[in-house]
Amino acid sequence: MTVRTRFAPSPTGYLHVGGARTALFSWLYARKHGGKFVLRIEDTDLERSTAESVNAILEGMTWLGLEYDEGPFYQTHRFDRYNAVIDDLMEKGLAYRCNCSRERLDQLRDEAMKHKQKPRYDGHCRARDISPDKPHVIRFRNPDTGVVVVDDLIRGRVSFNNEELDDLILRRTDGSPTYNLTVVVDDMDMQISHVIRGDDHLNNTPKQINILQAMGAGLPKYGHVPMILGDDGARLSKRHGAVSVMQYREDGFLPEALLNYLVRLGWSHGDQEIFSIDEMIELFDIDAVNKAASSFNTEKLMWLNQHYIKEDDPKRIAHLLSPHMGELGIDPAEGPDLADVASAHQERARTLVEMADMSAFCYKDFEAFDPQAAKKHLRGVAREPLERMRTVLASLGDWTEESLHTAVQQVSDDLEVKMGKVAQPLRVAVVGRAASPGIDVTLRLVGKAATLRRIDLALEFIRQREANAG
């Protein structure tokens, strides 16, 4: 059997992390078994589906690298096919017209709720002859007896009594087909072998199995992935932070870090934390997915992101960093090579946004000294080291890390102080804060003219401070 999986989002919003994890699991399963991964856009909700949401989904899939083998297929392009299936079910007596009023349906629901029963349609119109020319819906004639057994790849065997299932609507009054009809027709036509989706769809599965059997179709294998919770135990939502995949890109995360994090949400391979894409494909299997819900931990994602930033090629980091520099009003072409800047900050940046903030001093003067850093390092005692450094650096012809290191060491030796007593005031003068890469790297990236200009500003800051104190 050829493995064929699918990801079938509804284009009513962004691609969220729960959907991305489901897509990843489906993609990995297909890749592991040499199968096909299909992208289907379930856009039958005509009021809520938008082109912008479709683009957001496609953009998110592309950013994550979850390339699809077939699609995207749009359900709104297949209405003729759905109607043909509904007509066939009608001819076989497996579906029927219903014109029950909203008031009657509400009354049925209220009665069921009052008696603490599961609300379901009572089959009132099953035997009625309703004109096709009057407003009506088409309902599926669900079996009255028997049990639907779902051998779930994740949850194990789950059984549903047909007596508790509904004669669900296949086609609305306006002629549009419903989700439970379109999804099974598509899964049948697209020969989907494995349906991997969120466990919020588990209750739809017996209904869909009954429709598939009514159509004479074979059944795919189902795997229902548990939901993702926030760190407070509630279902993951906007209040827990970013839930849109593309928001993580905006926040400076690498796609491989997010993929690595998502694959570990509910799945594990021993104690291994870091997985390359090839390792994910080789090691992943759906039956190893945990039955319990997983909690999203942003700190863990940060740790992974920092790992991937640290290990990546500086040239690629520079490419990804560039738009974040643009957000700060910086054109990386007007300054040091961005790959050099990225290399200098890879060890300490947790996100590309952090790296951009850390790197801004390489391209433009800062607005003010960090108060704590200035209080500690730009005192009267720092004036002589800074003045000497300015003199030495102004006369320096070769602006390399080696010559800059030698210059700082020379001033330290001349003043008979530890190198930090010179390097740290110099760092605050040039960067505006107490943390940066090595002082030699920092000075090289800032450049000679900006370094001298900023030392002058620091010396003026010290003079003003002393004058105000006096």
- What b/e readout covers 146-174, taking b as 16+ CB neighbours within 10 angstroms? eebebebbbbeebebeeeebbbbbbbeee
SS3 235: strand
- Residue 386 in contact with residue 456, Cβ under 8 Å? no
Backbone φ and ψ of 449, nearest 5° = -60, -45
- Active site includes 310? no
Task: Establish how many alpha carbons lie within 13 A of residue 224's alpha carbon, considering only the half-sphere containing its beta carbon.
Answer: 17
Q: Which amino acid is at 427?
A: R
Listed as own residue / partner, the contacts of 310-319 with beta carbons closer than 8 Å and 24 or more positions apart are 310/346, 310/347, 312/254, 312/346, 314/339, 314/340, 314/342, 314/343, 314/346, 315/339, 317/342, 317/343, 317/346, 317/352, 317/355, 318/342
Question: Active site residue: 238, 291, 315, 418, which one?
Answer: 238
Rounded Cα distance, 56 and 51, in Å: 9
Q: Pairing between strand 137-140 and 169-171?
A: antiparallel
Backbone φ and ψ of 287, nearest 5° = -75, -5
Question: Helix, strand, coil: what percent of the chain each, to 5?
Answer: 50, 10, 35
Distant-in-sequence, close-in-space partners of 203: CB < 8 Å, separation ≥ 6: none
SS3 110: helix
- Catalogue the active-site residues: 238
